[in-house]
């Protein structure tokens, strides 16, 4: 059964409406969220600068005590240094840098001497590339004023926020999309499964749904793949599989075309494990152009536009 795959006469109109919907959400959401993120980031940067004596002491001892300041230090250079670039310039272990960035921790199995050597290399690169226009007290050797520190922290915070902008937007948009699905389902009598009761998606009761549920794929090597929304129709027949939904949003056409194979891979994994009866669709909002739709249609993947959420009814809900 296909729904929007076959409505090619509506594709162009739907793309325009979806782009308009995304842009309206972005304009209302982005300013306040980025403002709050920037305030939080500025406070974090000020604390990081204080820990390093305002970039005058980037020693192994400091980095051991505050491994989470590395992202701030990378944005304090001219030009700002990407994670992989820092690894290459300093000639240090990728796992060390990524653990400091992501987990804000140090590796437990690295010897103390090796760790000190690696951290010294990182500190040396940061010190050599420090942005002297922002941290001008490094030139004169004087103590920075409170206003200078705050101004520098604001600039670095802006850089951090710019680097994190897309993940922030994606996360908030996904939350909004799932809340939209939740409200639509609950208005029709569906009940969300509590987190503690999650089990095999094939054993869900009729009229229930769950978010971010892991579904097992593979035959010899079993792998969990996360699915944004899993819904068992109220009138599902015995043995019928629930509807699997991937929530997708995008703020530009280029990004969607780059990532369109991801859904095809997931669909292939699901079919290989559960057969052609598996029902996997997309919930779209934003810049999904005709080329993207054609690609997904060719892969047999249908979709529902957020601005026409009632199309979910046509998938048996």
> Are 133 and 194 in the same domain?
no
CATH of the domain at 23: 3.40.1350
Q: Give the rounded distance of the alpha carbon of 67 from its chain centre.
A: 22
> Are 176 and 155 in the same domain?
no
pLDDT at residue 211 is higher than 70: yes
The span from the CA of 63 to the CA of 58, in Å, is: 7
Domain boundary among 141, 165, 189: 165
pLDDT at residue 163 is higher than 80: no
Residue 30's pLDDT is what? 72
Residue 2 lies in a domain: no
> Are 88 and 211 in the same domain?
no
Residue 183 lies in a domain: yes
> Are 39 and 141 in the same domain?
yes
Domain boundary among 126, 145, 165: 165
Count structural domains, the chain. 2
CA distances from 166 to 173, 220, 282 (A): 10, 36, 20
Q: Is the separation of the CB atoms in 189 and 69 below 8 Å?
A: no
**Structural domain span for residue 256:** 8-28+170-315
pLDDT at residue 255 is higher than 90: no
pLDDT at residue 132 is higher than 80: yes
Average pLDDT value over all residues in the chain: 89
pLDDT at residue 165 is higher than 70: no
pLDDT at residue 252 is higher than 90: no
Residue 1 lies in a domain: no
> Are 151 and 180 in the same domain?
no
Structure confidence by residue, pLDDT tens digits, 183-203: 999 999 999 998 777 667 888
CA distances from 156 to 41, 58, 148 (A): 9, 17, 12
Of the candidates 23, 14, 68, the one whose C-alpha atom is nearest the C-alpha of residue 41 is 68
Structure confidence by residue, pLDDT tens digits, 81-112: 989 999 999 999 999 999 998 888 999 889 99
Structure confidence by residue, pLDDT tens digits, 52-75: 999 999 999 999 999 999 999 999
Structure confidence by residue, pLDDT tens digits, 269-300: 888 888 888 899 999 999 899 999 999 999 99
Residue 277's pLDDT is what? 86
Domain boundary among 99, 134, 165: 165
């Amino acid at each position: 059964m296909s729904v929007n795959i076959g409505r090619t006469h509506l594709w162009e109109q739907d793309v325009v409406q979806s782009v308009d919907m995304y842009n309206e959400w972005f304009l209302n959401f982005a300013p306040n969220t980025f403002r709050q993120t920037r305030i939080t980031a500025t406070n974090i940067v000020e604390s990081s600068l204080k820990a390093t004596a305002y970039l005058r002491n980037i020693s192994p001892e400091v980095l051991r005590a505050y491994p989470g300041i590395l992202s701030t230090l990378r944005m304090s250079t001219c030009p700002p240094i990407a994670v992989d670039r820092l690894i290459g310039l300093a000639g240090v272990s990728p796992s060390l840098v990524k653990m400091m960035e992501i987990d804000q921790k140090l590796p437990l199995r690295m010897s103390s001497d090796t760790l000190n050597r690696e951290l010294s290399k990182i500190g040396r690169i940061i010190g050599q590339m420090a942005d002297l226009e922002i941290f001008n007290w490094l030139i004169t050797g004087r103590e920075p004023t409170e206003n200078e520190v705050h101004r520098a922290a604001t600039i670095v915070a802006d850089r951090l926020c710019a680097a994190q902008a897309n993940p922030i937007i994606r996360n908030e948009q996904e939350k909004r999309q799932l809340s939209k699905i939740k409200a639509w389902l609950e208005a029709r009598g569906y009940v969300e499964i509590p987190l503690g009761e999650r089990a095999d998606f094939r054993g869900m009761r009729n009229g229930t749904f769950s978010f971010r549920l892991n579904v097992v794929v593979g035959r010899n090597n079993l792998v969990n793949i996360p699915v944004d929304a899993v819904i068992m129709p109220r009138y599902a027949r015995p043995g019928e599989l629930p509807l699997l939904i991937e929530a997708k949003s995008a703020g530009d056409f280029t990004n969607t075309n780059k990532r369109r194979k991801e859904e095809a891979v997931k669909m292939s994994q699901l079919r290989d494990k559960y057969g052609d009866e598996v029902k996997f669709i997309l919930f779209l909002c934003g810049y999904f152009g005709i080329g993207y739709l054609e690609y997904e249609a060719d892969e047999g993947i249908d979709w529902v536009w957020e601005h026409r959420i009632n199309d979910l009814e046509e998938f048996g809900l």
